[in-house]
Structure 1
């Protein structure tokens, strides 16, 4: 983390992603750096340029909610990014002692009962904590003990079986950035970011954008399997109440080729 702190780093990174034309400002000649100038952000937010400079340099780390809302509008932040900005301006509570992450018994039983529906639980650091047999059959990435981020950014074999589009990669990095922004002093998170940054140009480029994203949601992904070929599956990501864990469930559209392939893949061996 730089001397300016997570709030200042975030403001600078997001400022560099917004061009004058994006906010209706004239270009005003050649620019040495990308994005908006500091004084332009201050003008759009209705604050003094000196005060904005103090925020970005980390000399004032607790602006009011009204100032944060104005900055979010000036930087064209979406709801997730604006909420993250507010979190960065709060004093972080003391971090409790780290305990091993354990999947609640009821969740384990539920996931295990889905014999034809791939599902797994990953923890705060994207480690797969529990996976059912259908998930194991679908991809080696969805195996207990595997770190999903390491697999998709550092393991070429995993990428072949689990193709990662730019949007998927960006969302994964944004989810990790959300965690780091809230607790920048977490040594395990810092070590994971350093490992991924050192080993993956793609991760390093996306990390520099300072995007953030909610850890829930869903979408569609394509996977390749050596036995049943390509599968186009929907996925749902659900936070498990009272934990920092996420339940991920894959399913196919009814009566689709992918549904038939999934049934073949998860059929019990006689």
Structure 2
């Protein structure tokens, strides 16, 4: 009702004929322009309607000239799915650097909803072998021999990696680039294609992570994920050492290494 009162008839192509008892659009006009019945629209506005579809709410949002945040808020009020199909904005990578650097010497990186790494601290670059601006966590896991060597239990955890990614991807079903990425990886990695077809899903917020590096002993972490706003769909992943495993001391040793673009991880450790 508040928004309806703010939209002049002329803004939606209606004649602004004479004085009105109340400002803005009438209910009948919103219903007509949205393609719904007047009674149904009235019930929606009064909060009496049940099982309102997202399509109807989007039509009403269009008539009322709501932006994306307002449209999703309207969907939330009606209990309808309200995810951004594709993130609208992405901050500059350099602006995110302090978020990951503050976790040093613990490995930390920020990735988008496709699992492309946007920014990482030096510890994560060393541990995961991030040597270029184009680094996708899922693709590297299934196609990089270096990443595979970093996971002693690679075969055992591969199903959970795919299940975690599917859970994340389900929030962005309208992203064609994400769909293309999955199809390309499935054609490259038979193991990924097999696991993807199993359609398992798993929570991606936290879990154990067991890795190794040629310059240290085994590394035991608790992987923790922290989300930014849904609008930018970025997630920071932090590897926290498990106490009593020697991982903290190992990370201090790794901190003396540097990542050299194009250099093999084994050669660099040596």
- Same fold flag (TM > 0.5): yes
Task: Using structure 1 for the length normalisation, give the TM-score.
Answer: 0.56
Go from structure 1 to structure 2 and tell me whether the alpha carbon gap of 1:115 and 1:95 turns closer, same or farther (over 3 Å shift): closer
1:254 Cα deviation from its structure 2 partner: 3.2
Supply the distance in 2 between the matched residues of 1:213 and 1:104 (Cα, whole angstroms): 28
Deviation at 1:248, TM superposition (A): 0.7
Aligned to 2:207: 219
**What is the CA deviation profile of residues 60-93 of structure 1, one whole-angstrom value per residue up to 9, with x for unaligned ones?**
xx9x9xxxxxxxxxxxxxxxxxxxxxxxxx9877
Q: Among residues 237, 240, 262, which one is paired with 2:228 in the alignment?
A: 240
Aligned-partner Cα distance in 2 for 1:135–1:210 = 29
Measure how far apart 1:99 and its partner are. Answer: 5.1
Matches within 5 A, 1:84-163: 101-102=90-91, 107-141=96-130, 144-163=133-152
1:51-70 map, 5 Å:
none
In the alignment, the residues of structure 2 paired with residue 237 and residue 190 of structure 1 have an alpha-carbon distance, to the nearest angstrom, of 23
Q: What's the offset of the Cα at 1:112?
A: 1.4
Unaligned runs of 5+ in 2: 1-50, 54-78, 259-270
For residues 224 and 156 of structure 1, the distance between their equivalents in structure 2, rounded to whole angstroms, comes to: 13
Q: Which residue does the alignment assign to 1:231?
A: 219
Distance 1:96 1:241, change over 3 A: closer
| 1:170 corresponds to | 159
Task: Write out aligned runs for 1:177-256 (5 A).
Answer: 177-216=166-205, 218-242=206-230, 243-256=232-245
SS class of match (1:145): coil
Per the TM alignment, residue 124 of structure 1 is displaced from its structure 2 partner at its CA by 0.8
Contact 2:168 2:204 in 1 (8 A): no
Measure the CA separation in 2 of the matches of 1:103 and 1:215.
25
Conserved 8 A contact 1:131-1:143: no
Q: Is the 8 Å Cα contact of residues 152 and 162 (structure 1) preserved in structure 2?
A: no
Residue 131 of structure 1: how far off its partner (Å): 0.4
Alpha carbons 1:136, 1:143 under 8 Å: kept:
no
Relative to the length of structure 2, the TM-score reads: 0.56
Counterpart-to-counterpart distance in 1, 2:179 and 2:162:
13
SS in structure 2 of the partner of residue 235 of structure 1: strand
**Residues in 2 aligned to 1:237 and 1:166: alpha-carbon distance in whole angstroms:** 22
Alignment of 1:6-25 (within 5 A): none
Change over 3 Å in CA distance of 1:191–1:258 after alignment to 2: same
Structure 1 residues 191 and 257, CA, compared in 2 at 3 Å: closer, same or farther? same
Name the CA distance, whole Å, in 2 between partners of 1:257 and 1:93: 44
Cα 1:214/1:106, change in 2 over 3 Å: farther
- Maintained 8 Å contact 2:166/2:201: yes
